[in-house]
Homo-oligomer: A and B are copies of this chain.
Amino acid sequence: MSGSIEVQLEEMHKRVTQHEILGSALDRELTEKRQRQIVESASGVLFEKGYHRTSIRDIAAACGMSMGQLYHYISSKDDILYLIHVYSQEIWYEHLRDAGFQSITDPVARLARALRLSLEFIEGHRQLYLFLYTESKHLEREHLKLVLELDDKNVVGFYRHLLADIPGLELDAARRDTAANLVAFIVVFLALRGWNLDTSRISAQVDFLMEFVFRGLGLQLPPASER
């Protein structure tokens, strides 16, 4: 079961790709490239001003594009919000992959590593995650549904699998689901409540959170060398 995250992410990519966002541009490859550029360029303004206060003109300017060009690669402002959500899952996945996560075999070590990598990653992308939680509610119905599905499948699903693999963890399916959601939620703690936390102690806070989660689940945290 340890390879499942790759499979999930594969599927995610497929689903994202299947969903038509295209404005009028026809070249699929160029479109995807530009969409990523748009997300990366637009993030700055969006995170700072918020979705509603950022105009399409602001975004176009931030992307160095004309408004018309922008609309060749998206078909509505809402698409950008959606793309950011997808993007966030992609880069999170890439982070795990690049950190060699999948080479770990021990289930508990896997959980520990996943937790630490996620905590650190999200801490490094505070604004992004704050934005995601803050603005997801404004997605249009169709996009919202997709995003929530992706989140349940890829993010929560990821933790669900990790928890299921751990021997001796006495959680029925229902509790395991709640636990997976809770982990996905706690992992985002530093981003959502960062304004009220001492930013000079990040690594201590990461440790604290890992201990908290492991103890909360009734598990023993592996020695530091193995997380």
Q: Are B177 and A198 in contact (CB under 8 A)?
A: yes
Count of A residues near B, CB < 8 Å? 44
Copies of this chain present: 4
Nearest-Cβ distance from residue A89 to partner chain B, whole angstroms:
15
> Complex formed: what's the CA distance from A205 to B181 in Å?
11
- Whether A14 is near chain B, meaning CB under 8 Å from some CB there, is no
Would you give the 0/1 interface string for A22-40, flagging 1 where the beta carbon is closer than 8 Å to chain B? Answer: 0010000000000000000
* Chain B residue with the shortest CB-CB distance to A52: B52
Given the contacts A130-B137, A174-B198, A174-B201, A193 and B181 also touching, CB distance less than 8 Å? yes
- Whether A76 is near chain B, meaning CB under 8 Å from some CB there, is no
Q: Which residues of B contact A64 (CB under 8 A)?
A: none
Q: Which residues of B contact A195 (CB under 8 A)?
A: 148
A3-11, A103-111, A209-217: which lies at the interface: A209-217
Q: Which residues of B contact A151 (CB under 8 A)?
A: 196
> Complex formed: what's the CA distance from A213 to B151 in Å?
24
- Whether A192 is near chain B, meaning CB under 8 Å from some CB there, is yes
- Whether A197 is near chain B, meaning CB under 8 Å from some CB there, is yes
- Whether A218 is near chain B, meaning CB under 8 Å from some CB there, is yes
- Whether A138 is near chain B, meaning CB under 8 Å from some CB there, is yes
Residues of chain A having any CB pair with chain B under 8 Å: 24, 50, 52-53, 57, 130, 133-135, 137-138, 148, 151-152, 156, 174-175, 177-179, 181-182, 184-186, 189, 192-193, 195-198, 201, 204-205, 208-209, 211-213, 215-218
Return the 6 tightest CB-CB contacts between A and B, nearest first: A216-B216, A212-B216, A52-B52, A134-B137, A215-B216, A181-B193
**A–B complex contacts, Cβ < 8 Å, 17 sampled:** A50-B138, A52-B138, A133-B134, A134-B134, A148-B196, A175-B204, A175-B208, A177-B197, A178-B205, A179-B208, A181-B189, A181-B196, A182-B186, A182-B189, A185-B186, A185-B192, A211-B216
